[in-house]
Structure 1
Amino acid sequence: MVLELHIWGPAFSLPSIDAQCLATIAYFVKTVPKGKWVVVASSDPSVSPTNELPALKDGQIWVSKFRNIVDYVRQYSEGKWDLDADWDGLDKADITAFSAFLESNGQLLLDLSLYVSSQNYYAGTSPAYGSILTWPNQWILPPKLRNAAKHRTEHLGLSSLDLEATEEQQRERERASAGVSAGQIPKSLIARPRETVSTLLGKTAQYSQFRLEALTAELFEPLDQLLGAKKYLLADGQRPSSLDMLVLGYLSLVLFPEVPAAWLRESLRTKTPRLAKYVERMRVECFGGVVMLEDAFPETAEVKAKSVLPWKQPERINAVKIGSTLLKTLADATPILKDFRMNSRLQQAAKSSPAGLDDREAKTVSNYANAQRRDLYISIASAAAGVVAMVGYLTYNGVINLGGDNYYEEEDEEAYEPESLDKMTAPTVASLFG
C-alpha cells in the first residue's frame, strides 16, 4: 500500500508553507523508497482526525505531526526507514534536545515574521495561502492561523509587529490621556503600556540592535556551533539525521520567503552565514531546488516526471465539501458545539495515532476524553435544570402566565353571549308587536 502524506501546499518556492510539512517531506525523500509514498497538497487539516497537517494516511490509520510520523514510518518498515538508526547515546540525546529546542524557538520566530508582522502577512503569507486554498477556506483558515500565532507569541511582548494592534494601543493611550486631562482618571490608575518592538526601536539604536540580536541568536548560534565544518549537523558522513530534516524545515521559511520586513532572513545570513549555506544546500538535496505551485498539481505526465517529489492531485472540491466546511466553521464558533468537536477530535486521536501514543497513553487520553464529555453533559443538564427552575418560579409568582389569557377570554365569551342575546331579543319583539 502506498503511503499518502497530506501537507499544506507550496509557497515561497518551497514544497510547503509549513515547517513541519517541509521537514516531513525531506525525511521521506531520504528514507522511503520511490513508489512507496506520494505527497498530496490538500491544504485542508480537516482530512485528518486530529485536524492537523502534516498527516500521514495508511489505509484507515492517520498519524499527524513530524515526530509521530517518523516513529510510525520506523515501525511500519520494521526499522528499515529510520534516519536515526545509526545514532545512539549522546547523539540520540542531542537529536531529542535540539529537536524540541528548534520546534519551540523556531516556531515563535516564524510566527513573528510571517504572521504577527502585518507587513509580511499581508504582502506574503496571506497571498500564499490564497493561492493554495479553495473557497471558503481561503477566507477562514488564514485569519485563524494568524490569531493562533499571535496567541503563541503574546508572552514575548512583540505584538506591535501587528500594525492593527499598535493602532489600537495608540487609541487606548489617547483615550486615557483625554481622561486624565479631563480629570476623570487619576494618573496613578493608568496602566503602563507593555514594551513592544516599536518602543524598543524608538530608544537607542544600540539597545534595539541588542534586542533583535538576542531574539535570533538564541536560535541560530547553537545550531551553527553544532554544525561546525561538518556536512550534516551530527556527522560528516553520507547520512543526515532527523534533526537535519527539522532544521531544513524551519530555517527554509526563515531564508527563502521574499517579504518586506526581512529582519529574520538578514539575521541568519549575517550572523551565521555557514548555517545559511547549509540550508541552501539541503534545499537542493531534498527538494531539488525551487518548487513552484504548478508542481504540486501536475496536470500532465510530463510535469509530474520533472518533479523530484511524487506529487498526487488532491481530491477536487465539491458542494458537499463546501457545505461541510461552512457547517464546521459555524460549529467551531458555537461554544457548546465547539467543545463537543474538540472532544471528538481528542477521542479520535487516541484511537488513530498509534505512533504517537502507546497503549497506556492512549487509554489515559481516551479516559480523559470520556470524562470531559461527561462533564459537558452535566453542564448542559445543569443549565437546562436552571432554566426550568427559573421558568417555574416566575410562573408560580405570576410573572409568567401560561395559558391564563385564553381561559379568561373563553369565560368572558360564554358569559357574554346569553346576556347580550336577551337584551337584544326583548326590545326587538316589543317593537314588532307593540
Structure 2
Amino acid sequence: MVLELHVWGPAFGLPSIDPECIAAVAYAKLTLREGSWVVVASHDVSKSPNTDFPALRNGPTWVAGFKPIVQYLQRHSASEHNPDEHLTERERSDTTAFASFLRTNALPLLDLNLYTSAANYYQATAPAFTALLPWHLNYTIPPARREAARARTQHLGLSSLDIDTVDDSPTEDSFSAGKKNAGIKDDQGPAPYRQSLLPFARKKGLRNLLSQPEYAARFKLDALANDCLIPLDTLLGDDEEKELLLHSPHPTTLDCLVLGYLSLMLYPDLPSSWLADTIKSRFPRLAQYTARMRDLTIGSEDAKASDLMALNDLRGSPELIAKGRKELGLVLPWALASQPSIAGTAGSIVWSIATKLPLVNRALVPDPIIPQPGKTPYVPNDTLLTSLTAFAGAVAAGVLGAAYFVQQNPNPGDVIFRNENAAAPRFGGFGDFGDAGSAMAALGNQLDMEAQWHREVELQRQRSNQTSDVEVNVGVSAQEGKGGVGLKGETHVP
C-alpha cells in the first residue's frame, strides 16, 4: 500500500508552510523508494492523532509528528536505508539535542517572523493560507495558528511587533508648511523628496527604518537570532569540505529537520525580511548549506496551490496523474487530495465551532503542555467526545434554524429596519461633484430637517388653537342653556 504523507500545503516556493512538514517531505524523499509514497496537501486535521501535520497514513494507521514519522519509516519496508545508521554515539546525541534545540529556539523565530509581525502576517502568511484552505477555514485556522504563535512568544517581550507598519510617505518641509499656514501662496511647492543614500534596501530613509517595530526591538531580535544560528553555524564548522552538519557522506535526519526551519527563514518574500537578511549577511555558510540541502532533498520546484488544484482536476489513472505532474513541473510525488462532501464540510464547520467552546475545546484538542512526572494526563473517553460533539452540532443547528425561522416569520410587533433608499436608484445629485458636492448635499439635508421641524411646530400650534376653540364654544353653549336660551354649540375648525 502506498504511504500518504499529509502536510500543510505549499507556500513561498516550498513544499509546505510548516517547518516539520518540510522536514518530513525531505526525509521521505531521501529514504523512501520512488512510487512507494505520495505527498498530500491537506487541511483536515481531525484524522491526525495530534490534530496537526505532518501526519503519515498507512492504510488505517496514522502517525503524527516528525520524530514519530521518522521512527515509523525506519522500520518500514519501503525505506531504502537509514540515514542515521553510520552515526557515532556522540552524533546521535547531537541529533537528539539539536532536535529539541530547534523547537526551543528556531520555532520562536519563525513565530515572530511569520505570525507575530503584523506586516508579515497580513501581507504574506495570511494570503498564503488563503490560497491553501477552503473559504470557511480561513476564518479559523490562520487566526488559531497566529494565536498559538503569540502564546509561544509572549514571554519574549516582543509584542511591539504586533502592530501595523508606520506610513513614511514624503511630507512637506517645514518652510513650505509655515508659508501654507500663514496663507502665503507657495509657487515653488515643497522641496523635492530625495531618496536616502543609506543602504537600507527598500526603505526610504532612516526615520522609516527606526520607526518600524522590528528595528525598535532589534537588539532582542538579534539576541534571539544569535542564540539559534550561532550553535548551528558552529556545528557546521569552517571546513570547506564539510557540506553537512555531521560527518556523514549523505544528509541525516538532523539535516532534514534543520532544512525545514532554515528554509522558512530564508526563502519567503516578506515585507519585513530582518531574519533572512541576518542569515545572509552574518551567517552566509548557513545560507549556502540550506540551498545545498534543498537541492539534495526537496528540490527547487516552485509548487503553488494553483498547481495542486489543477492536479485535482485530473481525476483518473495513476499514469494520468504522473503525466499531469510532469506537465506542471512538479518533482515531488504530489497526490490528489480527497474532495470533501457537503456533510464533511458541515462537520468541519461544526468542529471549528466546537473547538472554540471552553469545555469542549479541552476535550477535543490535546493539551500541548507536558504533564509533570507521575501526573496522569487528562484523556477524555470516547463517549464524552461523542456526546460533546453531538451537543455542539445540535446547538449550532438549533441557532441557525431559529435564526432562519425568525427571519421568515416575523411577529407583527417586531421592529424591522429596511433601507428603502438603498434599493432606489439615484440619478445625479450633489454627490456627483466630489467633496464640495457632498458638503452642499449635507447642508441641504440640514435645511430640509429644519423646515420639517418648523412645519411640525406650526401644526402642533394649530392643533392647540383648535382644541381651545372647541372648549370655548362648548362652554358658551352650556351657559346659554342654563339661561333658557337653547343655542346649539358649534365647533370651528380653522
Q: TM-score, normalised by structure 1?
A: 0.68
The equivalent of 1:292 in structure 2 is 303
- In structure 2, what residue type is equivalent to 1:325? S
> In the alignment, is residue 87 of structure 1 matched against residue 87 of structure 2?
yes
- For residues 56 and 338 of structure 1, do their structure 2 counterparts lie closer, same or farther at Cα, with a shift above 3 Å needed? same
- In structure 2, what residue type is equivalent to 1:245? C
- CA distance in 2: counterparts of 1:263 and 1:206, whole angstroms: 9
The equivalent of 1:71 in structure 2 is 71
Q: 1:62 Cα shift?
A: 0.7
Are 1:13 and 1:290, in contact at CA under 8 Å, matched by a contact in 2?
A: yes
* Deviation per residue, 1:173-229 (Å, 9 max, x gap): xxxxxxxxxxxxxxxxxxxxxxxxxxxx689x9996543321111111111111123
- For residues 338 and 165 of structure 1, do their structure 2 counterparts lie closer, same or farther at Cα, with a shift above 3 Å needed? farther
Are 1:6 and 1:41, in contact at CA under 8 Å, matched by a contact in 2?
A: yes
- In structure 2, what residue type is equivalent to 1:257? P
- CA distance in 1: counterparts of 2:278 and 2:66, whole angstroms: 26
> In the alignment, is residue 274 of structure 1 matched against residue 295 of structure 2?
no
- For residues 332 and 164 of structure 1, do their structure 2 counterparts lie closer, same or farther at Cα, with a shift above 3 Å needed? farther
The equivalent of 2:151 in structure 1 is 151
* Deviation per residue, 1:251-272 (Å, 9 max, x gap): 0000000001100000111110
Are 1:4 and 1:37, in contact at CA under 8 Å, matched by a contact in 2?
A: yes
- For residues 55 and 208 of structure 1, do their structure 2 counterparts lie closer, same or farther at Cα, with a shift above 3 Å needed? closer
- In structure 1, what residue type is equivalent to 2:103? E
Q: 1:104 Cα shift?
A: 1.6
- In structure 2, what residue type is equivalent to 1:292? A
> In the alignment, is residue 337 of structure 1 matched against residue 349 of structure 2?
no
The equivalent of 1:262 in structure 2 is 273
SS in 2 for 1:76: coil
- CA distance in 1: counterparts of 2:40 and 2:279, whole angstroms: 31
- In structure 2, what residue type is equivalent to 1:223? L
- CA distance in 2: counterparts of 1:208 and 1:153, whole angstroms: 14
SS in 2 for 1:10: coil
Are 1:135 and 1:322, in contact at CA under 8 Å, matched by a contact in 2?
A: no
- For residues 18 and 79 of structure 1, do their structure 2 counterparts lie closer, same or farther at Cα, with a shift above 3 Å needed? closer
- In structure 1, what residue type is equivalent to 2:245? L
Compare the two structures and name the one with the higher helix fraction.
1
- CA distance in 2: counterparts of 1:337 and 1:121, whole angstroms: 28
- For residues 93 and 336 of structure 1, do their structure 2 counterparts lie closer, same or farther at Cα, with a shift above 3 Å needed? same
Q: 1:156 Cα shift?
A: 0.2
SS in 2 for 1:111: helix
The equivalent of 1:34 in structure 2 is 34
- In structure 1, what residue type is equivalent to 2:152? R
- For residues 212 and 51 of structure 1, do their structure 2 counterparts lie closer, same or farther at Cα, with a shift above 3 Å needed? closer
SS in 2 for 1:121: helix
> In the alignment, is residue 217 of structure 1 matched against residue 231 of structure 2?
no
- In structure 1, what residue type is equivalent to 2:289? Y
> In the alignment, is residue 310 of structure 1 matched against residue 319 of structure 2?
no
* Deviation per residue, 1:117-143 (Å, 9 max, x gap): 000000100000000101211221000
- CA distance in 2: counterparts of 1:373 and 1:3, whole angstroms: 29
- CA distance in 2: counterparts of 1:312 and 1:209, whole angstroms: 42
- CA distance in 2: counterparts of 1:34 and 1:206, whole angstroms: 47
- In structure 1, what residue type is equivalent to 2:233? D
- CA distance in 2: counterparts of 1:319 and 1:21, whole angstroms: 28
- For residues 208 and 161 of structure 1, do their structure 2 counterparts lie closer, same or farther at Cα, with a shift above 3 Å needed? closer
- In structure 2, what residue type is equivalent to 1:159? S
- CA distance in 2: counterparts of 1:103 and 1:208, whole angstroms: 22
- CA distance in 1: counterparts of 2:155 and 2:165, whole angstroms: 15
- CA distance in 2: counterparts of 1:244 and 1:324, whole angstroms: 39
Matches within 5 A, 1:380-391: none
Q: 1:331 Cα shift?
A: 1.3
* Deviation per residue, 1:233-253 (Å, 9 max, x gap): 002x43111010011100000
- CA distance in 1: counterparts of 2:71 and 2:44, whole angstroms: 23
- CA distance in 2: counterparts of 1:126 and 1:259, whole angstroms: 12
Tell me whether 76-85 or 64-73 shows the greater mean CA deviation: 76-85
The equivalent of 1:394 in structure 2 is none
The equivalent of 1:227 in structure 2 is 236
Are 2:6 and 2:42, in contact at CA under 8 Å, matched by a contact in 1?
A: yes
Q: 1:114 Cα shift?
A: 0.2
- Return the structure number with greater relative CO, CA threshold 8 A, min gap 6: 1
- In structure 2, what residue type is equivalent to 1:259? L
- For residues 94 and 49 of structure 1, do their structure 2 counterparts lie closer, same or farther at Cα, with a shift above 3 Å needed? closer
| Paired-residue identity, % | 40
Q: 1:49 Cα shift?
A: 3.2
Are 1:8 and 1:44, in contact at CA under 8 Å, matched by a contact in 2?
A: no
> In the alignment, is residue 60 of structure 1 matched against residue 60 of structure 2?
yes
SS in 2 for 1:250: helix
- CA distance in 2: counterparts of 1:323 and 1:202, whole angstroms: 45
- For residues 206 and 322 of structure 1, do their structure 2 counterparts lie closer, same or farther at Cα, with a shift above 3 Å needed? closer
Are 1:40 and 1:312, in contact at CA under 8 Å, matched by a contact in 2?
A: yes
What's the RMSD between the two structures over aligned residues?
Answer: 3.2
Are 1:159 and 1:165, in contact at CA under 8 Å, matched by a contact in 2?
A: no
Number of residue pairs matched?
Answer: 324
Are 1:20 and 1:246, in contact at CA under 8 Å, matched by a contact in 2?
A: yes
Tell me whether 307-316 or 6-15 shows the greater mean CA deviation: 307-316
Tell me whether 49-58 or 18-27 shows the greater mean CA deviation: 49-58
Residue ranges of structure 1 left out of the alignment (5+ in a row): 167-200, 350-360, 381-434
Q: 1:336 Cα shift?
A: 2.7
Q: 1:308 Cα shift?
A: 1.9
- CA distance in 1: counterparts of 2:105 and 2:308, whole angstroms: 29
The equivalent of 1:415 in structure 2 is none
SS in 2 for 1:320: helix
- In structure 1, what residue type is equivalent to 2:246? L
Matches within 5 A, 1:109-124: 109-124=109-124
Matches within 5 A, 1:350-365: none
Are 2:54 and 2:64, in contact at CA under 8 Å, matched by a contact in 1?
A: yes
Q: 1:79 Cα shift?
A: 7.7
SS in 2 for 1:219: helix
- CA distance in 2: counterparts of 1:246 and 1:36, whole angstroms: 22
Q: Which has the larger radius of gyration?
A: 2
